[in-house]
Amino acid sequence: MIIYFSGTGNCLAIARHIAQALDEPVMPLVNAVSNDLTAEKRIGLVYPSYDFNMPPAVRNLIPRLRLNPQAYIFAVIPCGAQAGNSIWTLRRMLREQGLTLAYSHKIRVPDNSAIVFSRNPNDQQWKFQRFDGRLRQIIADVKDARHAHHFSTWSLIAWLMARPRMEAWMLRTFRPVVNEDKCIGCGICARVCPMRNIVVSDREVPTPDGRKHLAAIGPHCTACLGCVHSCPQQAVEVNGLPTLKDRQYRHPQVLLKDLLLRR
């Protein structure tokens, strides 16, 4: 079973490649926590690096996974550059649950958070140059049930950034806001959100052409930016910046429909 957490498709694309090569099913993390996975002999976790660590939502969901202590567990971190402490954090968390992380690696991909800093993630396609080679290596290693870790040395800065105050500040900085003038209530963001944290409100608001419903973002945002990058009206904004269509990013092998979670 390959379990992924993905806002803009990097993790989904990689999870799918691995799953296909290993003939394993794939499942979003938010669904995996409500399944009993103790019969699974091989578990892959594919999640991004946020602020040099594990996304807060992933950290909250991992302890809810029901896994077999004998399972071969591996992790792959697709990141813009630095996985930071994210694998250290996973290893510690699994150990606390009586589980062992056998193998880990990172893959460099475009940084979807560039949009928050007025940069274009689509300008980072060069990061895919080593994508296929790294993926082949990971798949071969996991097929052989290798025990190896390829992660950076533990970082004090990454640890400090995961302190509750810093994390709260980060979540505030990256918090998406729905621009009510632009939103048409189509509900795409609600189906993309890996936290199921968006609803299209029942409340109707008047418009010059009639009335419309609006997307409402709930309290469980983990700042994955999936809604920002997927909104067809560019109605989800961060940092007070308008979202530009040409800066919206999705992994090139992933379609919007692939990111839509089933209800």
Ligand X SMILES: Cc1cc2nc3c(=O)[nH]c(=O)nc-3n(C[C@H](O)[C@H](O)[C@H](O)COP(=O)(O)O)c2cc1C
Binds 50: which of ligand X, ligand SF4, none (CB < 5-8 Å by kind): ligand X
Which range touches ligand X (CB under 6 A), out of 23-31, 45-53, 135-143, 180-188?
A: 45-53
Q: Does 131 bind ligand X (CB under 6 A)?
A: no
- The answer to whether residues 157 and 52 touch, using CB atoms and an 8 Å cutoff, is yes
AA letter at 22: L
Nearer to ligand X, 69 or 117 (CB): 117
Of 193 and 223, which has the nearer Cβ to ligand X?
A: 223
Give me the amino acid identity at 179: N
Residue 244 and residue 228 in contact, taking contact as beta carbons nearer than 8 Å: no
Q: Does 176 bind ligand X (CB under 6 A)?
A: no
Cβ proximity to ligand X, 141 vs 258, nearer residue: 258
CB 116 within 8 A of CB 225: yes
Residue 259 binds which of ligand X, ligand SF4, none (CB < 5-8 A, kind-dependent): none
3-state secondary structure 176-196: CEECCCCCCCCCHHHHHCCCC
Site membership for ligand X, residue 11 (CB under 6 A): yes
Cβ 214 vs Cβ 183: under 8 Å: yes
In the list 1, 16, 29, 50, the residue contacting ligand X (rule: CB under 6 A) is 50
Q: What angle do CA 97, 101, 106 make, to 5 degrees?
A: 130
Residues 171/221, Cβ–Cβ less than 8 Å: yes
Q: Does 227 bind ligand X (CB under 6 A)?
A: no
Q: Bin 19: left if φ > 0, else alpha if -120 < ψ < 50, else beta.
A: alpha
Q: How far is the CB of 202 from ligand SF4 (least distance, A)?
A: 13
Residue among 113, 197, 243, 248 that touches ligand X (CB under 6 A) = 113
Q: Which residues bind ligand X (CB under 6 A)?
A: 6-12, 48-52, 78-82, 84, 109, 111-113, 174, 223-225, 251
